[in-house]
Amino acid sequence: MSPSDRADGGETLGTSFGAVEPFTAEERARLTPYFTNVDQPVFALVNLPEVVKGALFARYSRSPKSLRRLFLDEFADLATAEGAPARDIGIARAERLFERVFVEYGDDSVAQLGGVHLACEGVSNVLTKLLEWGRLMAYLEQSTRYVPYADRPGGRWRYHVPAEVRATPLARDYEATLDLMFETYARWLEPMQEHFRRRHPRQATDSEAVYRSTIRAKALDTLRGLLPAATKSNVGLYGTGQAYEALLLRLRASPLAEARACADLALTELRKVIPAFLRRVDTPDRGGAWSAYLAATREATEAAAARAVGSLVPDARPEVMLTDFDPEGEVKVVAAALYAVSGLPDDQLLAHARRMSAKDREAVLAAYVGERRNRRHKPGRALERTSYRFDVLTDYGAFRDLQRHRLLSLEWQPLGPRHGYAVPDAIEESGGGADWRRVMEASAALHDALAGAGLAPVASYAVCMAYRIRFYMEMNARETMHVLELRTAPQGHPAYRRVCQAMHRLIAEEAGHRGLAAAMRFVDHSAVELERLEAERRTDARLRALSETGSADR
């Protein structure tokens, strides 16, 4: 290459990160369609198949070359002559690379390098919880607050009929009972809005749109307890090949036909995008054995539990209990706060923190937490030094929402009618109590009939979201801060707001972690009547401001 070939005149580009490799004009032209820049040390990859992006990154591990150089040397020839984006560029080559580093050496880091957006539509709420189990994925799910389930696409209410039930004599009961749930829900939609309109008349300062959507959200939030866990939802997922592999292995081990069928569909679709990442999933001696291990340990543990605790009956418990915490948690957080800014060993810091006066410890914690101007200003990892374990017994609707948090441990027990159900005050006040109870009784009867017929794994599809479920949440103080501050925000659902407010009180009063509880200063204990009102007002004001400046998307 002669110096004049260089687009930058032969000078190596420099930045504060150091020299950036120069490319010729011809190389730059070939790179441009696939990299967001060709002269900076930080760039994104675009218009390339996921598997190629993954393969390129995988080469970092064993090659001294820059990524763009690797692309030119190993993949660019496979691009179309014009350099136009082409879906299949380099796939065959990338697949060969994966064959070597991933399948043969089992190098999992490679499978973390390509991602896919996957849509799963018309899946039951039971399945959404399995889809959303993994920590290292992103999810977005249809909301029961904004989407009314009062329509009947194709003449059918939006619920899932499990394959296990379809061929049994209980299929008719199942459909009749779930029809009743949806009919009751749909019938109460207008009266419930009318109830809230009477109770909360529109204020002159609120637009009709703000008022209407606030009232509708309140009615939908109140009625969601009537919907069964079989209610269909749409979920969008984004994750890496590694995360999808783990998801598919879990789904394939599930006792639910719906989960296994979803795994088959997802595998087919994911293989159209990241085939190389998912080679092991259905190989009998790899993924097959892996799923079999998951299923076998679950079954063995169920059998062990039946022997060990099968004859015990649950003692009564409050909605939220703090079942484990470290009485020394705050002292440990103080020691941890000093760690990264000192040169002292971990145990020496802890011993010192124990000797410090309470006032001095407070000063360290105050410096570490700083002045938080909003809930997104979060202190660092020292807060991960102590954890809380909560046992929660609350309605399934609230559980669904809290289960979405990923940086914690959360497990739940089978959903059934044995812990009773919640009845929102507004239901009784508006005269809906009898209908509510009729639906709950029908739900319990169907659940018990299914369980009695040997269909226990699918019995929870029939259970309404107002029924209580027991689950634990174990989380460090940093995640606790995030969860409690988000989930007590005034626009949150009253059920999980109540649960999270109780958690906050327990941290302060039972754990005695008053300093940490105070650091969670955006936990909101106020009573709110119309959860969405302030948020709708803010959105309305923003839209008005935008439309006045001409930039609103009308």
**Residue ranges in contact with ligand FAD by CB under 6 A:** 136-141, 143, 404-407, 479, 482-483, 486-487, 489, 491-492
Residue 496 in tokens: 């999980």
Task: Report the alpha-carbon distance of residue 106 to residue 74 in Å, rounded.
Answer: 23
Minimum distance of ligand FAD from residue 405's CB (angstroms): 3
Minimum distance of ligand FAD from residue 143's CB (angstroms): 3
Task: Report the alpha-carbon distance of residue 221 to residue 479 in Å, rounded.
Answer: 26
What is the rounded end-to-end Cα distance, in angstroms, of the chain?
54
Minimum distance of ligand FAD from residue 6's CB (angstroms): 39
Using CA atoms, how far residue 62 sits from 25, 58, 491, in Å, is: 28, 8, 50
Task: CB nearer to ligand FAD: give 245 or 479.
Answer: 479
Minimum distance of ligand FAD from residue 54's CB (angstroms): 18
Minimum distance of ligand FAD from residue 53's CB (angstroms): 18
Residue 171 in tokens: 């299929």
Task: CB nearer to ligand FAD: give 1 or 407.
Answer: 407
* Neighbour tally for 228: CB within 10 Å: 30
Minimum distance of ligand FAD from residue 408's CB (angstroms): 7
* Neighbour tally for 347: CB within 10 Å: 9
Minimum distance of ligand FAD from residue 178's CB (angstroms): 23
**What's the gap between Cα 221 and its chain centre?**
20
Closest CA to 471 of 388, 387, 389, 393: 393
Task: CB nearer to ligand FAD: give 52 or 215.
Answer: 215
**Residue 282 phi, psi dihedral angles, 5° rounding:** -110, 20
Task: CB nearer to ligand FAD: give 91 or 223.
Answer: 223
Whether the CB-CB separation of 263 and 278 falls below 8 Å is answered with: no
Whether the CB-CB separation of 413 and 305 falls below 8 Å is answered with: no
Residue 490 in tokens: 């005034």
Task: Report the alpha-carbon distance of residue 370 to residue 543 in Å, rounded.
Answer: 33
Task: CB nearer to ligand FAD: give 289 or 407.
Answer: 407
Task: Report the alpha-carbon distance of residue 544 to residue 507 in Å, rounded.
Answer: 41
Whether the CB-CB separation of 465 and 225 falls below 8 Å is answered with: yes
Task: CB nearer to ligand FAD: give 136 or 176.
Answer: 136
Minimum distance of ligand FAD from residue 219's CB (angstroms): 16
Task: CB nearer to ligand FAD: give 280 or 532.
Answer: 532
Whether the CB-CB separation of 22 and 10 falls below 8 Å is answered with: yes
Task: CB nearer to ligand FAD: give 141 or 164.
Answer: 141
